[in-house]
Amino acid sequence: MSEEHYPPRLIAMLEAVWGEGFLSPGGPAEVARVLEGHDLTGKAVLDIGCGAGGIDVALVTAHGAGYVTGIDVEDSVLTRARELVAAKGLTDRIGLVKVAPGPLPFPPGTFDVVFSKDSIVHIPDKAALMAEVARVLKPGGWFLASDWLIGTEEVSPEMAAYIAAEGLDFGMATPARYGAAMARQGFTDIRIASRNAWYRDEARREIDRMKGELGAKAAAIVGQDFVDHNIAVWERMVPVLDTGEHCPTHLAGRRP
């Protein structure tokens, strides 16, 4: 197994479930919901955790972003993202950069918008994250994101079992911890909106698809054992979605 959290086989599996270039649920429609009420036309956007590139393609083609800088920490996802961006003919509008965990490698006030979709779950220190987001945003710029949050600071055995099954470096935070981190940096117009009800139903549909035709097609690429493994992960996720402990959430805030 690769030391990277997202080896090519997992990328292929997640794209089969969630769509070309996407490593988290909802695809372009969920990107649009995160951006609702915000115009990206001509703007400089930073995408933290660009993954396999589908997000950045959507930011440019569907929302008119002037230039998107997508960053990630893993070569595997960046390789896939570069393939997708090149195939779409968007290398002049999207730049993809490998970064090390820690401070963002950009000068202060570089971006109009900092975006992220279900990626900053991998960053445990939300206070440090929001300090960096505030630093690289222009005055009046927006932080617009979705992330996987946890309902309470106490982790149940069921939640611990799900996180262990995922095998990823999840650093989940509560809505209160996110809100406090944003407020500490002076963000205004803070919005924190649960998407738990949507994903409870969506996750069940995903399991059904993995057990059906989609899973059969994916098995031809990644192997039936890997499909079965991912079905088992999803089946551990559903109970903690039902309790609200696992809480996909939209986040927004404006830098003064």
Domain residues of the chain, as ranges?
Answer: 8-153+170-200+245-254
Q: What is the mean pLDDT of the chain?
A: 94
Reduce the DSSP state of residue 222 to 3 states and report it.
Answer: helix
**What is the structure's pLDDT at 3?**
59
**Tell me, what's the pLDDT at 6?**
86
Q: What is the pLDDT of residues 65-77, one digit of tens each?
A: 999 999 999 999 9
- What pLDDT band is residue 199 in, cutting at 50, 70 and 90? very high
Give the strand pairing for 67-72 and 44-48: parallel
- How confident is residue 235, by pLDDT bands cut at 50, 70 and 90? very high
Please state the rounded mean pLDDT for residues 229-238.
Answer: 95
Q: Provide CATH code, domain 8-153+170-200+245-254.
A: 3.40.50.150
Which pLDDT value is given to residue 169? 64
Q: Give the gyration radius of the chain's Cα atoms.
A: 18
- Mean pLDDT across 190-202: 96
- Using the predicted structure, report yes or no on whether residue 89 has a pLDDT greater than 70: yes
